Amino acid sequence: MTKGIYLDNNATTRVDPEVLAEMLPLFTEQFGNPSSMHGFGAAVGGKIEWARKQVQALLGAAHDSEIVFTSGGTESDNTAILSALEAYPKKREIVTSVVEHPAVLSFCDHLEKKRGYTVHRIPVDRRGNLDMEAYRAALSERVAIVSIMWANNETGTIFPVEELAVLAKAAGAVFHTDAVQAVGKIPMTLADSAIDMLSLSGHKLHAPKGIGALYVKRGLRFRPLLRGGHQERSRRAGTENAPGIVGLGAAAQLALLHMGEENTRVRALRDTLERAILAAVPNCFVTGNPDNRLPNTCNIAFEYIEGEAILLLLNEQGIAASSGSACTSGSLEPSHVMRAMGVPYTAAHGATRFSLSRETTEEEIDRVIAVVPGIIEKLRSFSPYWQADAGRPKEFAPVYS
Amino acid sequence: MWNYTDKVKEHFFNPKNSGVLDDANAVGEVGSITCGDALKLMMKVDADTQLIREAKFQTFGCGSAIASSSALTEMIIGKTVDEALTLTNRDIAEYLGGLPPEKMHCSVMGAEALRAAIANYKGEAWEDDHEEGELVCKCFGVDAAMIERAVTVNGLTTLEEVTHYTKAGGSCQTCHEKIEEVLEEVLAKSGALKPAARHAPGTVGLDAIKPLAPKAEAPAAPKLTNVQRMQAIMTAIEEMRPQIRRDGGDVELVDIDGKDIYVRLSGACSGCSQSAGTMMGVQMKLVEALGEFVRVKPASLMTAGV
């Protein structure tokens, strides 16, 4: 097998060597506990504050004290939602969307089932755009928090979060956005926005796994999820993951540096890949909103074949991608995002996500373009829904259909 | 990535007997595109000897579904119809060196297709068999008879196992109670283990998601001309000024650049810790006045030439 081609960067990214270099001393020479009153601790404390400033810069936040380090996106999402509910106990409603990451959706399910909150799940249209009419209708003074993602992890579709935040604030609700996929890929200026809280995750932007942050706008009423020591100004107890934090800081610095590249070179590579596949393969289409999405993401639904089979054949060629198909996750239904967009089952099972990074090269994309049509053709050649010789779908009506 | 055996991989990467068997006299079609697995098994049976001379398949599904189909064809070629009928899904899984528990339903699909094909050869209506057993899981089209067979052959005892082997109950979950009833019946008959605890009904969350129905385009709001828009912005800001002035500050419109409205705060508002809040208030007022989303930004952020 040749060197692997990694196009699953929305799942996780490789730790940048520069990030790792920044982190390594934190395991050996600079191992002190930042809360300790001695030189070992102080050195680490200084590094953490440096990292905080890097994250602040990446988000365009007004103050570095608005950054709270967490263990990752899930903790940040859970903290944000719970904080708003505890800070405004009389408000018993939550607004979110149907295409959120499970870190938000499952937590909202739990709050609905176990604690009796009312959850409004705003639907999306066929291109994954939020139903703004339904959103406006769901907002009221009863809503404690709105939690809506900045960009969708499967399709890359970007939501108008600045507008959503303004509307939420006007209704008196706290506005949180899960920006795990968006941070580092598109420019942000939180200082000028109505966004109260924002979640990010390090491993999506070339920092290690297990580190993330929650942006909390200055002045926002906040209640911590983890209570204990006074770390993070008492907003997140627990000894700091100092190497992770420093890694996140370094990654944030690099992300800001490479933002232009992400939006030009990576976008162009993604578009090349997409155009070539669409031109070479019949019966496939891009899911989500092709005109308003992350520059690195393309999700193509291949009709009449199943995603896991595509991934296995891609993997055999050294190519890593991802699928929203049921069989890859162990669940039995295609992804909730594909279902929410009304993608027909004929295509939803074959949805395949290619997510690039700044490390993706032109040669890699050329290789993927060369390989994909053959894989699709092979699988379709023995799909009962595909008429191989005619190159088009056929009717197939088994007894259990 | 699933931990597939080498045999599964071999049958997936190089499936045996895939494609169409033109003059098949036994065809079994099971599964559906909804559930993500479908199999068409085609066989040529020798009428004199009852031997299965040839078998081919077409499968829509994951790696283990394709491997199970390929394995099935290899297993039945050369067998008589009656011999083939004794094959169970467990035999298919064993032939492949095992399947992950979550993938056992692929082997069940193979066994079901074989039964359907043989019924077709014998001129029996497979659909009747299907209708005899109550359709338990509507999402995946799994009937009571199929659950019963899976439970008996594989010694299943819990709802979760039934879902892994048949897919039944893997979607909306409203059939969990029914599945447990079938399970209880089979276990009671065999005197086997006690059934699993009842699963709490409920369909909140991800399973409650329904696609948004396409709707007609909303009538477009009357579009303001550039002059009307500018006047609306100026009027809205003028209306806000008395309140801001009362607090010792002021706000003035500096420029309009598409959706970006640049304003300058002065007096007590300039450098005030609450200035972000004031800007936000201006933004909300403008969004309301214009009926569109705009960003209000400090004039200091204006780029050269704006």
HEC sequence for chain A: CCCCEECECCCCCCCCHHHHHHHHHHHCCCCCCCCCCCHHHHHHHHHHHHHHHHHHHHHCCCCHHHEEEECCHHHHHHHHHHHHHHHCCCCCEEEEECCCCHHHHHHHHHHHHHHCCEEEEECECCCCCECHHHHHHHCCCCEEEEECCCECCCCCEECCHHHHHHHHHHCCCEEEEECCCCCCCCCCCHHHCCCCEEEEEHHHCCCCCCCEEEEECCCCCCCCCCCCCCHHHHCCCCCCCHHHHHHHHHHHHHHHHHHHHHHHHHHHHHHHHHHHHHHHCCCEEECCCCCCECCCEEEEEECCCCHHHHHHHHHHCCEECEECCHHHHCCCCCCHHHHHCCCCHHHHCCEEEEECCCCCCHHHHHHHHHHHHHHHHHHHHCCCCEECCCCEECCCCCCCC
pLDDT at B286: 87
Specify if A395 maps to a domain.
no
Query: Could you say which of A108, A126, A308 has the minimum Cβ distance to residue B214?
Result: A126
Tokens read off for A334: 């295609």
Residue from A108, A284, A298, A327 carrying the catalytic annotation: A327
**Is residue A197 domain-shared with residue A223, that is, in the same domain?**
yes
Q: Does B142 touch chain A (CB under 8 A)?
A: yes
Interface confidence, given as ipTM, is: 0.86
Q: A353 - beta bridge partners? A: A299, A322
**Domain end: A209, A227, A255, which one?**
A255
Specify if A216 maps to a domain.
yes
Q: Is B106 assigned a ligand-binding role in the annotation?
A: yes
Specify if A140 maps to a domain.
yes
Q: How far is CA A291 from CA A140, A335, B193, B197, B242, in A?
A: 31, 22, 57, 49, 42
CA distance A286 to A278: 8
Specify if A266 maps to a domain.
yes
Q: Does A330 touch chain B (CB under 8 A)?
A: yes
Q: Which residues of A touch B127 (CB under 8 A)?
A: 399
Q: Could you tell me the CATH number of the domain that includes residue B260? A: 3.30.300.130
Domain containing residue A265 = 5-10+259-382
Q: Does A279 touch chain B (CB under 8 A)?
A: no
Q: Are A138 and A95 in contact (CB under 8 A)?
A: yes
Q: How many separate domains does chain A show? A: 2
Closest C-alpha among A280, A354, A289 to residue A322: A354
**Is residue A217 domain-shared with residue A333, that is, in the same domain?**
no
Closest C-alpha among A357, A55, A40 to residue A206: A357
Q: Are A369 and A5 in contact (CB under 8 A)?
A: no
Specify if B218 maps to a domain.
no
pLDDT digits (tens, 9 = 90+) for A170-182: 999 999 999 999 9
pLDDT at A255: 96
Domain containing residue B43 = 6-122
pTM above 0.90, yes or no: no
- Which residue type does A80 have? A
**Is residue A231 domain-shared with residue A275, that is, in the same domain?**
no
Q: Could you tell me the CATH number of the domain that includes residue A324? A: 3.90.1150.10
* Number of residues written out for chain A: 401
CA distance A360 to A295: 13
**Domain end: B122, B151, B167, which one?**
B122
**Is residue A61 domain-shared with residue A208, that is, in the same domain?**
yes
Query: Could you say which of A108, A308, A342 has the minimum Cβ distance to residue B211?
Result: A342
pLDDT at B131: 41
pLDDT at B8: 96
CB–CB contact B205 A106 (8 Å): yes
List Cβ neighbours of A315 (8 Å cut-off, separation of 6 or more).
B1
pLDDT in tens, chain B (306 residues): 678 999 999 999 999 999 999 999 999 999 877 777 899 999 999 999 999 999 999 999 999 999 999 999 999 999 999 999 999 888 999 999 998 877 888 888 999 999 999 999 999 876 544 444 567 876 676 888 889 888 988 889 999 889 888 888 876 677 888 899 899 888 888 776 443 444 344 334 344 445 556 556 556 566 788 898 999 999 999 988 888 888 888 899 999 988 888 889 888 766 665 666 777 788 878 887 887 778 888 887 776 543
Residue A50, number of CB atoms within 10 A of its CB: 16
**Is residue B14 domain-shared with residue B109, that is, in the same domain?**
yes
Residue of B32, B33, B161, B285 best to disrupt the A interface, most CBs of A under 10 A: B33
State CA B150 to chain mean position distance.
Answer: 24
Burial (CB count <10 Å: 0-12, 13-18, 19+), residue A102: middle
Specify if B207 maps to a domain.
no
**Is residue B88 domain-shared with residue B169, that is, in the same domain?**
no
Active site residue A327: yes
Nearest-Cα distance to chain B for A27, in Å, is 31
Query: Could you say which of A113, A131, A313 has the minimum Cβ distance to residue B212?
Result: A131
**Is residue A233 domain-shared with residue A166, that is, in the same domain?**
yes
Specify if B197 maps to a domain.
no
pLDDT at A393: 74
**Is residue A223 domain-shared with residue A345, that is, in the same domain?**
no
Q: Could you tell me the CATH number of the domain that includes residue B146? A: 1.10.10.1100
pLDDT digits (tens, 9 = 90+) for A88-144: 999 999 999 999 999 999 999 999 988 999 999 999 999 999 999 999 999 999 999
Q: Does B216 touch chain A (CB under 8 A)?
A: no
pLDDT digits (tens, 9 = 90+) for A28-65: 999 999 999 898 999 999 999 999 999 999 999 999 99
CB–CB contact B61 A309 (8 Å): yes
Planar angle of CA B161, B8, B29, nearest 5 degrees: 70
**Is residue A52 domain-shared with residue A199, that is, in the same domain?**
yes
Q: Is B137 assigned a ligand-binding role in the annotation?
A: yes
Specify if B195 maps to a domain.
no
Specify if A400 maps to a domain.
no
**Is residue A251 domain-shared with residue A270, that is, in the same domain?**
no
**Domain end: B143, B168, B190, which one?**
B190
Q: How many separate domains does chain B show? A: 3
Backbone phi, then psi, for B88, in 5-degree steps?
Answer: -120, 170
Q: Could you tell me the CATH number of the domain that includes residue A60? A: 3.40.640.10
Residues of chain A with pLDDT under 50: 1-2, 400-401
**Is residue B55 domain-shared with residue B105, that is, in the same domain?**
yes
**Is residue A241 domain-shared with residue A272, that is, in the same domain?**
no
**Is residue A95 domain-shared with residue A211, that is, in the same domain?**
yes
Cα separation of the two ends of chain A: 39
Specify if B213 maps to a domain.
no
**Is residue A246 domain-shared with residue A276, that is, in the same domain?**
no
**Is residue A316 domain-shared with residue A223, that is, in the same domain?**
no
Q: At what angle do helices B6-13 and A307-316 cross, to 10 degrees?
A: 100
E strand spans, B138-193: 142-143
